[in-house]
Structure 1
Amino acid sequence: MSEWELTHGDLPATWNSEGDLFPDSVGEPQRMHILGLAQTRLHEFPQESLLLAEVWRKSAHRVTGPAERILEERLVEVLRRADDSLGRLDGYRAYWGENDDAFVSLADKITVETALLALVARRHAGERPRVRLLVDRLARSLDPLVRSMRNEALLRRYPNGALSLAVGHAAVTALGIPDPEFDRLVKSALECDLLDCSERLNFRAMERRWMVGLLYAGADPSFDDLLPMSIATRQAHPIHMLATDIYALTHVPMFVTDFGSSAAPEVFPHASFRMSLDATAAWVVHAENFDLMGEVVLARELLGEPWTASHVLAWKTLEHAWDHLGFLASPSFSIKLLNGLPAEERCAYAFLHTYHTTYVAGMLSSVMLGAASSPPRQVVAPCGIGAAEASALREESRAAFAAALEFALGGPVPAVDVDRLAATACRDRGESALSAVRRLMALWSERGHRAPDAIADVLDGTGLPDVPLASSLADGLLTCAARTYDLVVLAELLRVVAANALPLTPTVAAAARFLARQQLPGGAIGGWFLDPRKRSSASAAEATTSLASALGALSVHPWLRERP
């Protein structure tokens, strides 16, 4: 087969020999590449002639067939676009507003991440002819970029910057294109005392060791001393994490497993990490953060962790966006801002705000191909909480409920009445768990929050039972409610969990404790009651009782009642 047939053979007839897609509404002179689906030439048609969102949907190349074929087509598409975009970086940079003296520019970052994409694709799917050919082509394109005169000059001036500059070289070397002279320069920087004259985040220290293992034959880097100081060893929860914390969490498996080429170290805390990852997967579905969505599912795949309902939902949501939009945007992408840019600047903006998410999805497709992985119909149960934590949660929830009743009624409430009112709050409303959670998702939208656009389509396509789906959706929305301080939705969700005896997940426990932590010394619940005037208002007692009833319901959750 020719190189063209190997890399483009399965594309639909609307693609020409250059790989460009012509939407029906755009003639050949006005051809365009829409954010990774063709050679982006947005300036070749008048801005007012088409709504970009409509064009993207019309030009989306939706792949069908067996899961393995779909994954390969996705990967091939990402690799082709990555190679094409490398040749456009110089033109794009003019619109990114960077300082020419920046130590590591956006173009440098993109080049390194392209090299990592190629490396992961080669390792996990390189036996496939089209993938191998595209990776080889990409490696040749990367060679002069990662070993540029600029990079050499910077390595000589700033040996402590070797970590940022040398990853691309290490990856291209591993792809079969060595450069002994540049290699000597990189290794001299890595072996220089000045390398440690920069403060590094823990996962960046892991990246440094991983790169040493890539560059030095026979090296077997250990992460045992770094893991105890990592967020990966904590029971971190997205209710309390920043986006940067989650990126740190998902990067740890990349380095300690050599991007899935080896097992995690024996000291790796699989149980606590699985809890954090599952809770985060549930949240990103509601947040529609495709970047984190891809990284979370990739982390699961690199570690060989089982599929849970939350991971299935995350992957299916990612697939749905990829199919129906034709690209995967980062959280920073704005169609409104894109439309307001000059035509010649739109290409640069679109690439900058889609490339990372797309490359992560390409890596994920590679690893899933290598592992012959696809979401199953039967998933493992989400992480639960232990007996000791359950007992403590029951007592904390009941105590907070009793204190709230005392605040609302103006005096102590007999224990028997506390228990009776808690049981009343936990009463089943006669709706299924999934229906109840979807009702609260609608409430979430009514209260002015953004809800996932395609959740109905995604849910219908999972094939999973209602209870795992309801539990996962509840977990994700609980996290959203806590992060936005919407205590009304949070409390309603906790009531639904209790009334429908949904699994008592770490997210349910974290959300209940979050709500209890909003209780002031006098019993009122909510930060707004820090104002004495609001605390003494007529509505304070009603609001506190309504919120606290969720904790009361949780204190008699069937699973908690069965605990000693």
Structure 2
Amino acid sequence: MRRVCLAFDIAKRALAVLAQDGYRDEQEPDGSFGPDKPFAETAMLLHVAAAARDEPAVDAGVAELGALLARLARSHRTACAIALHPTICFQLAMPHLLLRRLGLRDERFDRLLALSAASPAAEGREVVPHRALERLWLRSMWRDDGALDAAFDVAASLSVLNHPLDLMWGARDDAYAHTHALMYATDFGYASRTLPRPRAQVLAESSALLARSLLVEDYDLTAEVLMAWPLTGASWSPAAAFGFRTLAELEDTVGFLPAKHGTPEKFLTLTGHERTKYALAAAYHTAFVMGMLCALGLRPEHAPPATIDGRPASDALIDELSDSIAEVETPWRQTFRRLAREERCALAPFLLDLALLDRGRRHDYAAVARLLGLAVQHDLADTPLCAQAAELLGRVAACAEAW
């Protein structure tokens, strides 16, 4: 609960600083965004946290932040955008729709959104499958009558929820599609829709993505990947329990969950309001995602376990896997060293994923082959990352023979 309330506090500061113009960076245009982005993400945070309103502190935070967001997000500028752009009217109206779900209604915006959604052009925009799921999710906020279930099934079947990711070399956008498709398909855990593949297969890919995001210190993606377990109603795996503990300890050390490791050089060159604005623009999203993850954990039977339990491996195997990963002083390493021996011995599959990713991305294919041999020897090879690593070795060998 404390971590959810921390996200609320950061949200209030972010809205105070970014609500007028968003953030613009002339030197790094990709980091620029308008005020609609923090509005939408604040609305998502409130939507997820609302399930824990039986906690008085969460209830008070949802009420206060919801009232603030309602005043800011339902602006004349947003109304004009909804009127002008029917193809993205639901995305533009996301804060309104989620506030409406909280009981904070606005009939003027309802009427305007109804007119825009009724336009023949409203469906005239092609989107990738996880964005199609987002659009269906928002429509379900508008008219939740079950009529969209078949469309959800079709969109999910076309998404990465139904197609294996490239776990070794896939782009960050692929991992983003995986995490967001789960969010929208499940309505952030409120809906229990059937996934297009068995849940265990989807979560096995989530485990590999978890290892990859911790390896490269991408904590925004780490928190999003960890949502897979509570979103699907699954028990937290040993790897997921470890991932959550790593993020929690990092948040306690820094004061909030940072977007990346270290302090960007640009932060040190700024002063006053510009420094504050830059810090909030860079860090608020990751703090929000951590708040959403913790809010999911407040739901009944969704809390991450206090201890990491799993099938124990030998100390020798744990040491060998750990030694196969480049020795870099990262937060996951620090958390791992603090574990009890029994907890470390429960993390052999997770360490195997880390080692395969680290060696594979360094093109150390002899080490990958050795690790796969260890996996077979210790009955750990039945994972999507092991399968893809073996396929990779076959392709590399074929490439060497051809040239």
TM-score normalized by the length of structure 2: 0.89
Q: Distance in 1 between matches of 2:400 and 2:28?
A: 54
- Structure-2 separation of matches of 1:188 and 1:333: 48
What corresponds to 1:513 in structure 2? 391
CA 1:340/1:84 → structure 2, altered by over 3 Å: closer, same or farther? closer
Amino acid at match of 2:237: T
Letter in 2 for 1:483: R
1:300 aligned partner, one-letter code: W
Name the structure 2 match of 1:129: 56
Equivalent residue in structure 2 for 1:481, among 359, 369, 381: 359
Could you tell me how far 1:364 is from its partner in structure 2?
A: 0.9
In the alignment, structure 1 residue 361 sits paired with structure 2 residue 328: no
Partner of 2:102: 175
Distance apart, 1:377 and its partner CA: 3.8
Tell whether the 8 Å contact from 2:222 to 2:243 is kept in structure 1 after alignment. yes
**Take 1:121 and 1:254, find their aligned partners in 2: how far apart are those partners?**
14
How far apart are the structure 1 equivalents of 2:88 and 2:272?
36
Residue 225 of structure 1 corresponds to 154
Runs of 5+ in structure 2 lacking a partner? none
Q: Unpaired runs of 5+ in structure 1?
A: 1-71, 383-429, 525-529, 531-564
Q: Does 1:87 align with 2:16?
A: yes
Q: 2:11 aligns to what SS in structure 1?
A: helix
Residue 461 of structure 1 corresponds to: 339
CA distance in 2, matches of 1:199, 1:295: 25
The change in CA–CA distance for 1:164 and 1:367 in structure 2 (over 3 A counts) is same
1:120 to 22, 29, 48: 48
Separation in structure 2 between the aligned mates of residue 494 and residue 225 of structure 1, nearest angstrom: 36
Percent identity for Structure 1 against Structure 2: 26
Alignment of 1:177-326 (within 5 A): 177-216=104-143, 218-222=145-149, 223-265=152-194, 267=196, 269-326=198-255
Residues in 1 aligned to 2:20 and 2:253: alpha-carbon distance in whole angstroms: 29
Asked if residue 338 in structure 1 is aligned to residue 258 in structure 2, the reply is no
Is residue 96 of structure 1 aligned with residue 20 of structure 2?
Answer: no
| Secondary structure of 1:479 counterpart | helix
User: What are the superposed Cα offsets for residues 467-498 of structure 1, whole Å, 9 maximum, x if unpaired?
Assistant: 43122112123123323434354345335435
Cα RMSD over matched residues?
A: 3.0
> Matches of 1:462 and 1:185 in 2, distance apart?
58
Distance 1:366 1:494, change over 3 A: same
* Distance in 1, Cα, partners of 2:66 & 2:27: 26
Structure-2 residue corresponding to 1:397 = none
Give the direction of change, closer, same or farther, for the CA distance of 1:182–1:300 in structure 2 (3 Å limit): same
SS at match of 1:132: helix
Q: TM-score, normalised by structure 1?
A: 0.65
Q: How many residues align?
A: 398
In 1, the alpha carbon distance for the partners of 2:363 and 2:269 equals 33
- Does 2:19 correspond to 1:141? no
Q: Distance in 2 between matches of 1:431 and 1:75?
A: 37
- Note if contact 2:20-2:35 (Cα within 8 Å) is conserved in structure 1: no
Compared CA separation, residues 180 and 503, structure 1 to 2 (3 A): same
